[in-house]
Structure 1
């Protein structure tokens, strides 16, 4: 840890500034979680008591080199963006320096293979070894094209099973409906098993006394807690490792990406896709609806003048 020098009481520490930054009301849950991860690593490495005036770009660059040197470019850039936001927020308040001055943005290679093939997704629904909760979660995520944090934040009281919809808080704070199809609708009654309140998706076991979550994240019937994003991501990677050519398993975000791509290939308009997914900007939607290699190959084959016709 960096030793905090003697300073007037008016001086602000890293811990105080981080707490104030993370308690802003304009941060949605997803952004808050991401920023919190970055600042937690900085606080653990540098110490909550270090004064902002004592921090330098060299200190934060060293933390990044130790923590994320081997991380993927996208992960590195995400933590860098979080630190840039923190610096931009603290600078006009306490005169904090630019803590990202020595942390360069890494080039992200575009990956045109991230869409999961339709046949692999369909095979996933047919698997008999998947627990009911996991299959319901994965299917709801795909059919609704919703963000993972939105679906995991659902309570039983938020869903209207007969209408195949659920009320969520979108990125940015707006309240909206997500929609699903019959595949999810057939699984939810079995998942609920008579529950009328509490989180929709629950952990396998009750939390220990030292890790008791907030009451809103506990099921009053089973005593189990709301399933976390990290655990859900792990479960999906484990479930899809056998079908992923890389052998690493797919991510929950790829379900959303794949759904929007598949619907785009099927002729859905941009406005319909935005209404389903909760996007508010055509530019951000565009990266999800590029036709897959398989779809382009099929279209070329269909219009190949040398193709043999039956």
Structure 2
């Protein structure tokens, strides 16, 4: 557990002070080194002596664009993730400030740059003793379901079918939010994901008798200034749903060992690796589409790697019958 940091009281938190207390709260030296680059440069660009509350969202986005807008996709995503975690951390502790604007989006790495991790590498990472049960369960579930990280992070316990090893997720095809009588209503496309024995063994241990609320939660309750929806809070423990940015930071912390910023694994790699291994194992194109919930064959074709034996078997269907020469 990282040390508890005493934040300055009685006065507005400056940009520099906010950056320092956030970095001091990170326990892993590799994470501190990686995140210090993004957070430090953004703080310099914004003006270190300014009150954090005076910074606008668009200023954050513009600073990101100026510093790393022309960098590689992984570098942009790593820097953006560090700033997202920093600002989220401050907000959870009751310090008003900016957020990363919606238009400064996380970029999807090109397919050629998204590695498929080997089964051995995946098993070794999840088996490491220093990896918390929450992360073990999340990573194994992402790999076995081949679901998107935001889909799995959004699942609640009451939605799990533990016996059937399945759960509905709010799929990527969600319709835009609509406004009705002044209230915002979200319409989602619900799709089903399935997991296997690895996730089935870990989930009951993670839940520890909890029967409602988010499956994956933070280890600390949100601060008094943090506004969290009822769905995103465990009603029994008061812990909040684990965010995408937090999950990304945790994965980077365990996989960027000895590497520079952006060298850790990306959450998308679990989905990519799972589908690749299914394709290498002989899964048909239609089965891969059903598993991944892709709508277009061209989007899943890169995972389709039929073996020589499978090709020989299907070719045998073209052979003449015994009665013909």
TM-score by length of 2: 0.57
Tell me the alpha carbon deviations over residues 167-219 of structure 1, each in whole angstroms, 9 at most, x when there is no partner.
Answer: 11111122111000011001111111111111110011000011131111000
Question: Tell me, what secondary structure is at the counterpart of 1:161?
Answer: coil
Alignment correspondent of 1:253:
268
Alignment correspondent of 1:71:
71
Task: Supply the distance in 2 between the matched residues of 1:235 and 1:164 (Cα, whole angstroms).
Answer: 25
Deviation at 1:257, TM superposition (A): 0.4
Question: Tell me, what secondary structure is at the counterpart of 1:166?
Answer: strand
Alignment correspondent of 2:163:
162
Tell me the alpha carbon deviations over residues 253-306 of structure 1, each in whole angstroms, 9 at most, x when there is no partner.
Answer: 01100110111000001111111111111111234x165xxx99xxxxxxxxxx
1:283 aligns with 2:298: yes
Deviation at 1:42, TM superposition (A): 9.1
Question: Tell me, what secondary structure is at the counterpart of 1:178?
Answer: strand
Task: Supply the distance in 1 between the matched residues of 2:74 and 2:263 (Cα, whole angstroms).
Answer: 17
Task: Supply the distance in 2 between the matched residues of 1:238 and 1:63 (Cα, whole angstroms).
Answer: 24
Instruction: Return closer, same or farther for 1:214/1:110 CA change in 2, 3 Å cut-off.
Output: closer
Instruction: Return closer, same or farther for 1:170/1:65 CA change in 2, 3 Å cut-off.
Output: closer
Identify unmatched segments of 5+ residues in structure 2.
1-54, 78-108, 175-188, 309-325
Alignment correspondent of 2:128:
127
Q: Map 1:168-179 to 2 at 5 A.
A: 168-173=169-174, 174-179=189-194
Task: Supply the distance in 1 between the matched residues of 2:161 and 2:258 (Cα, whole angstroms).
Answer: 33
> Is the CA contact 2:114–2:272 (under 8 Å) kept in the aligned structure 1?
no
Alignment correspondent of 2:289:
274
Task: Supply the distance in 1 between the matched residues of 2:143 and 2:290 (Cα, whole angstroms).
Answer: 15
Size of the alignment, in residue pairs? 209
> Is the CA contact 1:243–1:249 (under 8 Å) kept in the aligned structure 2?
no
Alignment correspondent of 2:197:
182
Structure with bigger RCO (C-alpha 8 Å, 6+ apart): 2
Task: Supply the distance in 2 between the matched residues of 1:72 and 1:286 (Cα, whole angstroms).
Answer: 25
Instruction: Return closer, same or farther for 1:138/1:65 CA change in 2, 3 Å cut-off.
Output: closer
TM-score by length of 1: 0.60
Alignment correspondent of 1:194:
209
Instruction: Return closer, same or farther for 1:240/1:76 CA change in 2, 3 Å cut-off.
Output: closer
Task: Supply the distance in 2 between the matched residues of 1:63 and 1:129 (Cα, whole angstroms).
Answer: 35
Tell me the alpha carbon deviations over residues 52-71 of structure 1, each in whole angstroms, 9 at most, x when there is no partner.
Answer: xxxxxxxx9x8775153353
Alignment correspondent of 2:231:
216
1:153 aligns with 2:154: yes
Task: Supply the distance in 2 between the matched residues of 1:190 and 1:116 (Cα, whole angstroms).
Answer: 26
Tell me the alpha carbon deviations over residues 40-89 of structure 1, each in whole angstroms, 9 at most, x when there is no partner.
Answer: x996239xxxxxxxxxxxxx9x8775153353247879xxxxxxxxxxxx
Tell me the alpha carbon deviations over residues 95-152 of structure 1, each in whole angstroms, 9 at most, x when there is no partner.
Answer: xxxxxxxxxxxxx876366111221012123222211111000000001000001100
The Cα RMSD (Å) is: 3.3
Alignment correspondent of 1:18:
none
Identify unmatched segments of 5+ residues in structure 1.
1-40, 47-59, 78-107, 297-310
